[in-house]
Chains A and B, each alone.
Chain A
């Protein structure tokens, strides 16, 4: 939450190219900038490289070439374990589904990032981990579920637990990969409202990816990956 990051771009991409191994190029993005603190909707059909881009932005995947700056750090020049630490400290991630470690309770799932990484834990400042978990659980309306095993939760409840885990200790960047696609409309709307308010409270940048363009209106900025990604344009042609 350093001021310069807040003021500058949360994500800035220059000439990004990516291919899995020696396979075909999946991503070719000349330029992309996402302002800090904004809530961005990234839209694209299935298979256009959305998840791959998120993998690169979270530091799990390494760009083949180009510059990828996240929170003013150049991920391309960082080592794998540096990127892992970076992700643990600064990024919250919500999957489409199956977000939770099945053998941990909701509480322990939410605690996981802080237990895994001391610097993420340090972001809590003087707040205890237990308080932080209960606060974020209250925001997402899952206080009553904390002691339950993940497998006993409904899909909507699981997604809210996942959001709580992504938001714990206020990371600067929250990435959501189609988190609502397995929810019905009512639950989807409720989830999006909770997510939006929690992200706003944490002052985080939100990157929300979906194939469902109808969700875009709820966000500050809408991007279309096929438009950004020259590789998918080539595929389409």
Chain B
């Protein structure tokens, strides 16, 4: 599978973007709305004019039309042809390539089988659910056997459950097909789940390209740090396995028990909204609970950021202003801290 390179690419908000996507990797582009994510996909696909250069497998494709770039594209709006059945939609690219009918029928059948949409063959797009439409669109983009797959927010406007299910299937499929994939999303957590590497875009610029872990443990600048939620990085001096699936880590006065089945943990990243603070001792077992002192309180939009010191560790907690106002906390006062990690982000020794 080819790699993709953008050299000094400019279009609309994007200015002199340089980017390299490795062959067979799942490369996720995240960013806020208007960052230029879809523009990048359009440029790679060749459906938008641009300045600069796009290379696929080392060869320039600037003069190559979209129909010959070998790129499969799942558009954000899907763009399923409303006047064609599911079967006809999927077969469209094959007919365009002049494939023989029986061969095309076989390929369509196998794709529908793979995407579990065989029962939808003679239905029209407007009769399908959101999830079904996404599967059909994906099958259609895969039908001509592209070398590169572009996915623009494939789980957008799906409910949480369906999105999760589709994402799992998608990752499994992409890994199986080993395609060079560029995946666009605004959800960092989704990117974390599936990406080999992530590029964070803002106002047409690439802020950082790295593995998901490095985003949390090595944000390049304040914007990246803010985007990933300004996690607290805790250096662990000691780590020991308690039992299968549980590990105890120590960092100065803090001893935490974490669900983990592996080697020694050297660092963990704790997002501020995974830290709960209270002016009274919360009920429940004394697990991952600490007493600290309020060092700094600042308002941040509709939230309040509270810096708490626990021994040598300085943790940043973030909570809604309405919740903070119910507590009687002020700088210098003692505070109870509970850490409830929703997702473990760590660096091993």
A and B associate in one complex: no
Which B residues have a C-beta under 8 Å from some C-beta of A?
none
Which A residues have a C-beta under 8 Å from some C-beta of B?
none
